[in-house]
Amino acid sequence: MSLESKLENLSLGDEPSVVEAIKAEGADKSGFAAGIGSLVAKAAAKDEKTACAALATAQAVAEGAPEAEAFNKQVLASCLEQALNKSPAVKKAAKDCALAICKNITPFAMKSLLPIIFAELPVEKKWQIRVLALECLAVFKDTAPKQLGNALPEVVPEVTACMWDTKKQVKSAATAAMKGACEVIGNKDIEHMTEHIVKAITKPKEVPEIMHEMAGVTFVQSVESPALAMVVPLLLRGLREKQTATKRQSAVIINNMSKLVDNPLDAAPFLPLLLPALETNASSIADPEARQVTENAVGQLQRLKGLADKAISVRGDTSKVSEELKKAIGSEPSQSLQTVIDHASVIATCMMDLTFMEDLQWKKFVAAQFKGFLDDKKAEDVAEATRVVCEKMLEIPEEEDEDDDAEELCNCQFTLAYGTKILLHNTKMKLKRGKRYGLLGGNDSGKTTLMRAISNNQVEGFPDVWKRYGLLGGNDSGKTTLMRAISNNQVEGFPDVTEVRTVFVEADIQGEQSHLSCVDYVFADEKIQALNISKDEVRSILATVGFVPDGKAKPDHAVSTLSGGWRMKLALARAMLQKADILLLDEPTNHLDVINVAWVKNYLNSLTNVTSIIVSHDSGLLNDCCTNILQIENLKLHAFKGNLDEFVKIKPSARSYFSFTESKLKFKFPQPGPIEGVKSKGKALMKMSKCTFTYPGNEKPTLFDISVQVSLSSRVACVGENGAGKSTVPGNEKPTLFDISVQVSLSSRVACVGENGAGKSTMIKLLVGEIEPQTGDVWKHPNARIAYVAQHAFHHIESHLNKTPNEYIRWRYANNGEDKESLVKVTMQFTDEEIKLQQKPFEIQFVDDETGKITKVKKVVTELVGGRKTNKSKDYEYEVKYAGSTVDSGEYLPQKTLKKMGWEKAMKAVDLKIAQRAGLYVRPLSTKNVEQHLEDAACPGSLARTTDAGSTVDSGEYLPQKTLKKMGWEKAMKAVDLKIAQRAGLYVRPLSTKNVEQHLEDCGLSREFGTHYRMSALSGGQKVKVVLAAAMWNQPHILILDEPTNYLDRESLGALAGAIEGFDGGVVMITHNNEFCSKLCPETWVMDAGHLETKGDADWMLKQDEKIEDQQQITEVTDAAGNVTKLKGQKKKMSKKEEKQLVKKIKNKLKNGIDLDSDEEEFAIEKDLI
């Protein structure tokens, strides 16, 4: 009797014979396929015996005859419906059969059961059926975890709806199924959050807190559809919350996660859900910052959508696979075979989704489905033929490389991180010999980190070049000989290390090597020694780039004497000696003048057999040299053919890397404020007059007869050849600078330009007091505050790399706002002659105020205490301490007298401290006023600040003067008034973390890097911003920038230019960037052959002779607790007539009971009218 007949008359106990028949003859020949309809009907029968027999048979087939699963799975619907049967036996049999079908089906076929299960989940179905269906889903977490993860985008919405059910049984089963689903998401970044995610579905009030926790997750692993399926419902809830903070956090998480989606098709199912919600928030959120964050997330998802639309999707498309299986079989299938083909198509599609594409895998899972329909050989051939076609469906066509004949040096896929920050994720990089690649990306995108990683063999898959091994041995043991032999491929069997040799070129000289001569510095490199290069060869190469005995840079002079331009040429010369296959160049034109930039371009273009990767903000270099562009964007490395202009045509948004006008970034510098005794912006604040300077060891002076002046109106950029004296090399045999006179004021805008080594930096160092002239005068207004950013800007912070930028600024200004760096300059240190002069008794004349008697006493001054005042002659007097005194004398001596006694530098130090303290304004803490500089001071007059009893912090409240007077605080108010009067406008800006954090943000460094990263972990561009922010903290009157464009990308340069334009102080800049200085500076000082030539509008300064009183005044202040108080402008002194009229007005108001305004009340109290 065939199975078809047996299935018509089933009874309990027939299960073994059914299984045996299927195993012996197959599902088709045995008749099981033809009789499956009868089995399905009997399994759904109301009769207990019939139903139990059918369910037991289906369970036995599921457990013992897997070749029949394409037909047997149809019984699952009947099993689920039987959950309502009144017979306990039928219920049990139905549950056992349903679970057996789910547990034993081929894992890749589990998706074929989902439509059957989902059909039983709607709320219209009885709860018993829904519970059993959810229990079936929960089975897959153990039997098919990867496949369940792949199906989560369909599973999660169905289960989520059940978690809201009013029936606790359904709710409980749904929660268990969801927890099981969470276990298979396969993303370690969020697996610890799964319990919270499940909770958020049933408890919406938990969403804000859970979103806060999610916002703190660092996403590292690739994000695939299972993780998205689990998180998207939570993100949607977050986007729909009322709180702006929660909406913002949701947008941040979406932005971060979407950047780690490698396959856009993973995100495709969720984009129609997330994009509309994000776009709604982007147009409705009131907070500008949160709105911007949301807009960023929208842009990121739109990018993903564009990629997903372009991708060819075969996900879940069984029709294509089914057609391929039919083609491979070669004949029109029967109804039964079509059922098997449809089942095998589901399996094959799931294997494609999970990239199970090996031939053995398809033989095991796909070919096995045709047992009994095709012979084994034919089934395997059908599976293999279909697999080959399906594999081609998954291929992503790559752009054909026109240079097929060029040797491929690198073709790798890698992930790159710096600390906890992911820079590149699962990105590809292909490099070909002889190509010159421009590496683009914003500051902090990881350009330099990538090149360092390549140089240090830290890029996965990159050819291993300079592998580092510790090689030990005594003298004459052969260590160096072995290294040279390996390098020269003379060791038999050793891999060919010269195939890909990388050299990282950077101009920064290590401090411990700065004393070496140029020749010794190059020769000391272990790679140079390994290449068996002699010192003569080193000298020869150095000579080709200009290091000659009679030149500006001499090969036997220390590298510490080189200007920035010559240091870069030294680094290039060292690279030339190493005969690199790949040159890694980090800002190769930094510090270089036009002549040397042209030399670099010619050199790079001549390297037809060397590959270069160039990081540069010089658009001319990238246009003239690059054959290809590599762009870091959204954690990926994108390759483009052509130079920069060609790239910008394809990606217009990249114009912001090189155009000031395209910059959206904004810097903001604190305004300098007034200077005592300076009423005109054109008045000189700094001067140099006929200064001559000679470096130790020079035969002749480096700087001759230099005279410069700097005032509040100055905008100066210093230019000249490399070696012209801005950063001069000792040993010049002819004068570098001669007979130069300049000045800088508050309105100055001057560019100082010239060749490398022309002496520009040396002149600036004289001006700011870094070095002292042998002859001539350097003068600075005692109340002027100067910010100086040196050419090698990192020297400011090199001893503090273990501090965060925030900690560094707070350390530097910790002593009441005094700048520690400014007090250690050479010009502030006493010479031996000055110390001897200070120790000699000096005759001091005292006049008795009552009798007028003059007394002369010889005394020795041991210290200037720090006080300063103006005498009747309007000259400064300084508070001193005499020898033998244990306390401050409280006496003041005239400036001229102290100068004769050798205390000139000490007076300068006092002036400097006073000037620095005068510029410390409070930085605001409120989000609405973050761009204002507010002071931390009590408000004199009508209100005084108080602290409540029992409070450990300031209450932040202010009480009227009358009230406090009645409360017995009159003397305390007088003390407060006295302190404020003594400060005389020196509004202190507290060195709090928050204030410094905001200041760093104003200078372009985000809070994350400003407060939470040590400076050793920052990029070059970030370090420059730290140095700039530190220099600007005390609100300088003059800003001096030596090569400010180095390391900064164009967006940052545009922001810097904008900040300089809005700065009310003087600016002096040395730069080789003509576009930058011409935009800002109407006057130019040109260093050429030792002479200074002034070009442009030399009278520009005089036209800026604005009165300082016209400057915008601060109108609000914030104390350390964040309380905002309105400030009144400086009052104009009233004439006697005006005062009399005001007294009359106040008396009339008091008589008529009219309230006085705050100014009138203050005046009335001062004049004792109330």
pLDDT digits (tens, 9 = 90+) for 35-46: 889 999 999 998
1134 Rama sector, left if φ>0, alpha if ψ -120 to 50, beta otherwise:
beta
**Of the candidate ranges 603-607, 773-777, 800-804, the one whose mean pLDDT is the lowest:** 773-777
Question: Minimal CA–CA distance to 222: which of 499, 422, 65?
Answer: 422
Given a contact cutoff of 8 angstroms between Cβ atoms, the answer to whether 292 and 349 are in contact is no
Q: Hey, what are 643's tokens?
A: 């130079």
User: If you search the block for the tokens 């954090």, which residue do you land on?
Assistant: 997
CA distance 38 to 631: 64
Alpha helices (runs of H) in 655-784, residue ranges in sequence order: 760-768
Q: Residue 692: its pLDDT value, please?
A: 76
Amino acid at 1017: A
Token look-up 């109407």 returns 1082
Buried b / exposed e along 1018-1045 (16+ C-beta atoms within 10 A): bbbbbbbbbbbbbbbbbbbbbbbbbbbb
| Distance linking the first and last C-alpha atoms of the chain | 121
CA distance 789 to 1024: 9
Token pair for 235: 């993100």
The mean pLDDT value for 263-286 works out to: 87
DSSP 18-46: HHHHHHHHHHHHTSHHHHHHHHHHHHT-S
Residue 125 pLDDT greater than 80, yes or no: yes
In this prediction, residue 437 has a pLDDT band, given cuts at 50, 70 and 90, of very high
Return d(Cα 298, Cα 284) in angstroms, integer.
14
Rounded CA-CA distance 525/539 in Å is 14
| Tokens encoding 708 | 């410069």
**pLDDT, position 220:** 67
Judge whether 751 and 1083 are in contact, CB under 8 Å.
yes
**Residue 221 predicted with pLDDT over 60:** yes
pLDDT above 60: residue 1117: no
Going by their DSSP bridges, the two strands 957-960 and 436-440 should be labelled as unpaired
Residue given tokens 């005006």 in the structure block: 1138
Evaluate if residue 980 carries a pLDDT over 90: no
**Mean pLDDT along residues 702-725:** 50
Under 8 Å between Cβ of 416 and 423: yes
pLDDT of 495 reads 45
DSSP string, 858-891: EE-EEEEEEEEEE-TTS-EEEEEEETT-SS---E
Q: Measured between alpha carbons, how far is residue 541 from residues 108, 518, 572, 651 in Å? A: 65, 12, 10, 40
- Beta carbons of 1087 and 754 less than 8 angstroms apart: yes
Task: Decide: 581 and 405 in contact? Cβ < 8 Å.
Answer: no
Specify the length of the chain in residues: 1170
Tokens of 182: 């969470």
Contact present, 580 and 503 (Cβ < 8 Å): yes
Q: Which amino acid is at 867?
A: G
- Find where tokens 């007949």 sit: 5
| Mean pLDDT on 117-141 | 93
Q: At residue 483, does pLDDT exceed 80?
A: no
Using 50, 70 and 90 to split pLDDT, how confident is the model at 729?
Answer: very low
Give percent of the chain above pLDDT 90.
15
What band does 661 get if pLDDT is binned at 50, 70 and 90?
low
Q: Are the C-beta atoms of residues 22 and 3 closer than 8 Å to each other? A: yes
760 vs 583: which has the higher pLDDT: 583
Top pLDDT among 256 and 85 is at 85
Is residue 102's pLDDT more than 60?
A: yes
Cα 419 to Cα 429, 439, 446, 1018: the distances in Å are 22, 22, 12, 10
pLDDT, mean of residues 157-170: 89
Looking at per-residue pLDDT, the higher value among 53 and 815 belongs to 53
**Looking at residue 827, what DSSP letter applies?**
G
The answer to whether 80 and 133 have CB atoms below 8 angstroms apart is yes
Helix (H) and strand (E) counts in the chain: 46, 29
Residue 781 neighbours by CB under 8 Å, 6+ apart: 675, 678, 684, 685, 686
What is the pLDDT at residue 1125? 46
| CA 679-682-686 angle, 5° bins | 100
The CA distance from 1116 to 1122, in Å, is 12
Sign of CA dihedral 978, 982, 987, 988: negative
- Let me know: does 128 contact 81? Beta carbons within 8 Å: no
The contacts of residue 686 (CB under 8 Å, 6+ apart) are: 708, 709, 710, 711, 714, 743, 744, 767, 779, 780, 781, 784, 786, 1038
pLDDT score of 1150: 85
What is the secondary structure of 531-564 as a DSSP string? Answer: TT--HHHHHHHHHHTTB-TTSSB-TTSBGGG--H
Residues contacting 1006, CB < 8 A, separation 6+: none
Q: What is the mean pLDDT of residues 341-363?
A: 91
Q: What is the mean pLDDT of residues 423-427?
A: 83
Q: What is the pLDDT of residues 1018-1027, one digit of tens each?
A: 877 888 889 9
pLDDT attached to residue 767: 81
pLDDT at 928 over 90: no
Higher pLDDT, residue 706 or 797: 797
Lowest average pLDDT, out of 321-330, 526-535, 783-792, 950-959, goes to: 950-959
Radius of gyration for the alpha carbons in the chain, expressed in angstroms and rounded = 40
Q: Within 10 A of 452 (CB to CB), how many other CB atoms are there?
A: 17
What is the bridge-based pairing of β-strands 436-440 and 628-633? parallel
Q: What is the mean pLDDT of residues 2-21?
A: 83
Cα distances (Å, whole numbers) of residue 428 to 301, 328, 459: 22, 36, 11
Calculate the average pLDDT of the chain: 76
CB atoms within 10 A of CB 660: 18
Judged on CB neighbours under 10 Å (0-12, 13-18, 19+), 1097 is middle
Helix axes 88-104, 48-64, angle to 10 degrees: 20
Tens digit of each residue's pLDDT (9 = 90 or more) over 1077-1108: 777 888 777 776 666 676 665 444 444 444 33
Can you tell me the distance from the alpha carbon of 35 to that of 49, in angstroms, rounded to the nearest whole number?
19
Average pLDDT for 249-274: 84
Q: What is the largest CA-CA distance in the chain?
A: 144
Q: In this model, does residue 1032 exceed pLDDT 60?
A: yes
Residue 377: the pLDDT is: 92
1139 pLDDT band, cuts 50/70/90, is confident
pLDDT of residue 228: 84
Distance between CA atoms of residues 889 and 861, nearest Å: 10
Copy the structure tokens of residue 1104: 């800026």
Q: How confident is the model at residue 509 (pLDDT cuts 50, 70, 90)?
A: low
CA dist 128 and 488 (Å) reads 78
How many angstroms separate the CA atoms of 624 and 1052, rounded? 23
What is the reported pLDDT for 689? 82
CB of 726 closer than 8 Å to CB of 762: yes
- Given a cut of 90, whether residue 365 has pLDDT beyond it is yes
Give me the phi and psi of 677, to 5 degrees please. Answer: 90, -5
Q: Three-state DSSP class for 817?
A: coil
Contact in structure between 921 and 1035 (CB atoms under 8 Å): yes
Phi, psi at 757, each rounded to 5°: 80, 10
Asked if residue 783 lies in contact with residue 676, where contact means CB atoms within 8 angstroms, the answer is yes
Among 375-389, 605-619, 904-918, name the most confident range: 375-389
Structure token pair of residue 628 = 């290809």
Sheet of 876-882, strand order: 861-870, 876-882, 891-894
Is the model's pLDDT at 139 over the cut of 90? yes
Tokens of 286: 């009131």
Measured N-to-C along each axis, helices 335-353 and 376-394 cross at an angle, to the nearest 10 degrees, of: 40
| Pairwise CA distance, residues 975 & 102, whole Å | 84
Higher per-residue pLDDT: 702 or 933: 702
User: Which H or E run contains 322?
Assistant: helix 318-329
Least confident of 220-234, 566-580, 618-632, 1125-1139: 1125-1139
| 737 half-sphere exposure, CB direction, 13 A CA radius | 45
Range with lowest mean pLDDT among 27-36, 421-430, 848-857 = 848-857
- Give the mean model confidence (pLDDT) for residues 68-78: 93
Query: pLDDT category, 184, cuts 50, 70, 90?
Result: confident
869 vs 522: which has the higher pLDDT: 522
From residue 674, alpha-carbon distances to 574, 724, 1036 in Å are 50, 35, 11
Q: Alpha-carbon distance 314 to 265, whole Å?
A: 10
Reply yes or no on whether the pLDDT at 368 is more than 80.
Answer: yes
The percent of residues in the chain predicted with pLDDT above 70, rounded, is: 74
For every residue of 997-1065, DSSP letters joined together read: HHHHHHTT--HHHHHHS-GGGS-HHHHHHHHHHHHHTT--SEEEEESTTTT--HHHHHHHHHHHHT--S
Q: What is the reported pLDDT for 925? A: 35
pLDDT band per the 50, 70, 90 thresholds, residue 821 = confident
